[in-house]
Amino acid sequence: MASFLASRALLPGGWASDVLIEVDAAGAISAVTPGHRGPTGTARRLPGHVVPGVPNLHSHAFQRAMAGGAERRSPAGQDSFWTWRETMYRFVGRFSPEDAEAVAAQLYAEMLEHGFTSVAEFHYLHHQPDGRPHADRAEMAKRHVAAARQAGIGMTMLPSLYRHGGIFGKPPHEGQRRFLNDVDGFSAIVEGVREAVAGDAQFAVGLAPHSLRAVTPEMLHAVAGFQGPIHIHAAEQPKEVEECLAATGLRPVRWLLENMPLDARWVLIHATHLDDAEVMALAATGAVAGLCPTTEASLGDGIFRLPDYLRASGRFGIGTDSHVGTAPAFELRQLETSQRLRDHARAVATAEQNPHPGRTLLEAALHGGAQASGRELGAIAPGLRADLVELDETHPLLLGREGDALLDAWVFSGQSNPVRSVVCGGKVVVEGGRHVKSMAILDAFTQAMRRLMA
C-alpha cells in the first residue's frame, strides 16, 4: 500500500502540517493523519504544499491537436464561434482511432503535469470519416479510455448523443456525420464503454446529450433514464439563445429548467448567457455550471455571471474544453480576471471569511468538479481517490508564500508551472514536473500530428 507524507496539505478543515496520507490497493485514501511525527516507514515525502487533484469537467480531447491552429482570419472576415466550428468540422474528418488516442494521451499527460487528475471526456467523435460506425461502435470511446490508462489520469467517459443540426430536430450538417447516433446506437456505445471500464475505480461513465441543438426532448428524456451524470452544452452563444427562444418561446437554460428534472446529476456546460431568474433557478437546482474560461474567451462566448451565481450559492467546476489552456490555474485565473474586466473590481470570488480568491476558486472547482465527475474525489479524505498535487514551495512563483497566499500566487501569477509531483489513484504520475511517460507519449503524439497536418 502506498503512503505519502505531505509537509503541508489542504484538508477539508483547512491547512495541516506533516500529513500522512495512506492509500489502499484500489487507489483510494484509507487514512489521513495530520501532525504525524514518528517513523515515516516507506512513505514518500512530498515536501511542498499538497492540494487535492483537480477534476477537469469538460474535454473534447481531439481539439488539443487544433489548439492555436484555428486563429487565422478567414477570407470573408466576420470570424466567430460559428466559423471556428466550421474549421473544427473540417479538421475532425482527419482523425483515425490511432490519432485520437495519441492526441488524447498527450493532452492527459499535460493535464496531469498541471494538476488535473480526472477528466470528463465529452466524446462525440464516434464514427469513421464517412459517418459509418466502426465495427465496434465504441471503438473511439475505448481509444480515449486507453489514452487515460496510458497517462494514468482518472476519467468520466461521457458518450455524446448527437442526432440533429439545430433546435429541435433540424437536419444535421455534413461536417457532423462522424457524431451522429440514434438512441440505440448511443446506448450501444454506453454499454461498450461500461464493459471496458467495469471494476476499474479510475473510471466512471456518464451521458452527454450534446446540446438542445443536437437532440429532441424525447431523446433527452430517454438519456435521463440512464445511470450517471448528465452533461449538456447550454447557452454558450447569443445566437443559440435566440434560436431557442424562437423555437420554444424559452431561453435554453429556462427550457431545461422547465422541461427536465435538473438536479445534482446535471452539468450545464458554459451556461454563459443567463438572465437574472435563470441564475437564481439554476443555482437552486444543485446542478453544476461547467465553466471553461480559456475556451470561452478564445471563442468569444461571453462572461459567466459569477458574482450573482455565487450569491445564490450556485455550484461550478472548470473544464478545458478546446484545450487552448490545459492548466487548472489558468482556468481559475481567467474566470476571476474576466469578472474584474467586466465589473472594474478585484478579489471577486471572495467573502469576508474567505479573503483569498485562489482558495475560494480552487475549493469550489474541487466540489463542483467532483460532483460533475460522478466519482469519489475532490478532497484529501478517507474513501476518496488518492489524487494529490504537490506545489513546489521553492519555485520562484511561490517563494515566500504559504497556505492560501501560496494558492493565490499559483492561480494569479506567472506562466511557468510550479506543480512538482502528482499522484493519481495512489500512483505517482508526475515527478519533478514531468509526466513519468512523457517521452513515449510525446513520440506517439508527434507522429499523430505529422499525419494530421500532412
Q: Which residues are catalytic?
A: 270, 321
**Whose CB is nearest to ligand NGQ?**
60
- Output the smallest distance, CB 15 to Zn ion, in A: 34
Instruction: Tell the smallest beta-carbon distance from residue 125 to ligand NGQ (Å).
Output: 9
Three cell numbers written together for 413: 501569477
Alpha-carbon dihedral 141, 268, 14, 48, rounded to 10 degrees: 40
DSSP for 294-336, please give it.
HHHHHTT-----HHHHHHTT-EEEE--BT-S---HHHHHHHHH
302: number of Cβ within 10 Å: 18
State the minimum distance, in angstroms, from the CB of residue 396 to ligand NGQ: 34
322 binds, among Zn ion, ligand NGQ, none (CB under 5 to 8 A by kind): ligand NGQ
Distance CA(452)–CA(218), nearest Å, equals: 37
295 lies in the site for ligand NGQ, by CB under 6 A: yes
Nearer to ligand NGQ, 321 or 408 (CB): 321
Least distance between ligand NGQ and beta carbon 292 (Å)? 7
Judged by beta carbon, residue 181 or residue 322, the one nearer ligand NGQ is 322
CB of 256 to ligand NGQ, least distance (A): 15
> Who contacts 19 (Cβ-Cβ below 8 Å, separation ≥6)?
5, 6, 8, 9, 11, 32, 33, 34, 35, 36, 50, 380
Give the DSSP letter of residue 250: S
* Closest among 180, 191, 109, 97 to 144, alpha carbons compared: 97
Question: What x/- string results for residues 314 through 353 when contact with ligand NGQ is judged by CB under 6 A?
Answer: -------xx-------------------------------
Closest CA to 318 of 394, 370, 246: 370
Residue choice 211, 294, 339, 421 for contact with ligand NGQ (CB under 6 A): 211
380's CB contacts (< 8 A; 6+ apart) are 9, 10, 11, 12, 19, 21, 29, 32, 50, 52, 388
Work out what residue 3 binds among Zn ion, ligand NGQ, none; the CB cut-off runs from 5 to 8 Å by kind.
none
Does residue number 85 form part of the binding site for ligand NGQ (CB under 6 A)?
yes
Note whether 144 binds ligand NGQ by CB under 6 A. Answer: no
Binding mask 229-258 toward ligand NGQ (x if CB under 6 A, else -) reads: ----x--x----------------------
227: left (phi over 0), alpha (psi -120 to 50) or beta: beta
Residues that bind Zn ion in the complex, under the rule CB under 5 A:
321
Residues that bind ligand NGQ in the complex, under the rule CB under 6 A:
60, 85, 211, 233, 236, 295, 299, 321-322
